[in-house]
Amino acid sequence: MSFFDHVRASALQERLSRLVNTSHEPLKIDEVVGLDLSYVGNTGVAVATLHRYPDMSLVRYAIASDEVSVPYVPGLLAFREAPLMFVAYELLGTDPDLILVNGHGITHPRSFGIASHVGVVLDKPTIGVAKKILSGREVFVDGERYLENNGVLGAYVVVKGATKVYMSIGNKVSLRFVVEITPKLFKNNVLPEPIYTADKISKQVRSKIARDSRR
C-alpha cells in the first residue's frame, strides 16, 4: 500500500468544494450513466453503465479493473475509487447528460464527496447515491425528507421499504432538479437503475475474478 497524505487530500477537497455548482439544471436528459466499484482483495472493479432516459434501459457498459493502492479513509473515498471510475467512464465512450455515482456529493464533511469530485473533474452534472449518512442530519421540509449538511439542504431522502436512499447534489444540479428526477431513475429496485445495474455487474465480475484466482 503506497503512502497517502490524507491531510493534503482533505485540504484539496476544501479547495475544490468551491467549484461545485449547485444551481444548474440540465435542460435535457437523454442519457444517464451509473458509476460503481467493488473489490476483490486489493483489486478494484469499476463499472460504468449507460442508460436511455426516461425508460432507463441499459444500452451498454464498460469495466475497468486494477490494483487499488490508496487506503480506505472515511471521507476520502474519491481518491481511492474515482481514478478507476474515470477509466471505466472513458471506456464507455459517451457524453451523458447526467452521471449517478455510488457515494455522496455535498452531503460530506467538507461538502465534496465522490459524486462532487467526479462531477467537477468531468465538468458534468452528477448526483450521489448512498444508503448511509456520512455527514449531516435528516430534516423534514413540507412533508419531504432531506439531508441537511453544513447548514445546506444537500440531499433528497427516498424511502424504499426498510431502506433509505440519499440522493445528493454532486455537481451542476440543483436540489429541485434532484427531487424532480429522482422518481424517474428508479424501476423495481431499492437503488436507482443505473447504480443498481452497475453494482450488479461489478459484483458479477468480482465473483469471476475470485473464482479464477482459486484455480
Torsion sign over Cα 151, 154, 158, 162: negative
Question: 84 near 43, Cβ under 8 Å?
Answer: no
Rounded mean pLDDT for each run of 10 residues along the chain, 215 residues in total: 86 98 94 98 97 99 96 96 99 98 99 99 99 98 96 96 97 98 97 99 93 77
pLDDT value of residue 133? 98
At 210 the pLDDT is: 85
- What domains are defined for the chain? 6-213 (3.30.2170.10)
Question: What is residue 134's predicted lDDT score, i.e. its pLDDT?
Answer: 98
The set of cell numbers assigned to 137 is: 442530519
CA distances from 141 to 121, 127, 129, 148, 179 (A): 32, 20, 20, 11, 12
CA distances from 162 to 62, 136, 140, 190 (A): 31, 20, 18, 9
* Confidence at residue 130, expressed as pLDDT on a 0 to 100 scale: 99
Give how far Cα 209 sits from Cα of 43, 92, 166, 174, Å: 9, 21, 30, 39
pLDDT of residue 144: 96
Tell me how far apart the alpha carbons of residues 202 and 210 are, in angstroms, rounded to a whole number: 12
Alpha carbon of residue 44 to chain centroid: 16
Confidence at residue 2, expressed as pLDDT on a 0 to 100 scale: 62
